[in-house]
Amino acid sequence: MEVALLYPRLFGKLVHQLTALGSDAGRAEDYVQEAFLRAWQQGPSFAQLQEGQQWAWLYKTAHNLMVDDIRHRAAQPQPELPEAVEDDLSRAAVAQVLGKLPAETRRLVVM
């Protein structure tokens, strides 16, 4: 079956499978879209596979894209804010929100 015919039938199912494995929906959609693009690039060799084989190919490709992305992001150093800065930001945010409340409500919250 051609990729264009599979896309509306399988896209949502594949996204669901990846989100069930822990991917967020936006990233899962990206992985599945990339898998369909790669299937389309395969041309006739993909089209001649049986439908179950096409599902397996798309699932495995999307899954591998997800795993590769997770590994890549895990290998990147994550900048960390010092704890004191995080606390100061939290205090500032709370103070800003409290300042927007009516006086009576603010007194109740601060108690």
Amino acid symbol at 65: L
Structure tokens that stand for 83 in this block? 């704890």
Percent of the chain residues past pLDDT 70, beyond the cut? 91
Report the pLDDT value the prediction gives residue 11, as an integer from 0 to 100: 96
Report the pLDDT value the prediction gives residue 64, as an integer from 0 to 100: 97
Number of helices and strands (H, E) in the chain? Answer: 6, 0
Residues 6+ apart with CB under 8 A from 62: 14, 17, 18, 28, 31, 32, 34, 35
Say yes or no to pLDDT of 86 above 70.
no
Instruction: Determine the Cα–Cα distance for residues 61 and 42; give it in Å rounded to an integer.
Output: 12
Quote the pTM value.
0.68
Position with higher pLDDT, 27 vs 94? 27
Instruction: Determine the Cα–Cα distance for residues 36 and 46; give it in Å rounded to an integer.
Output: 10
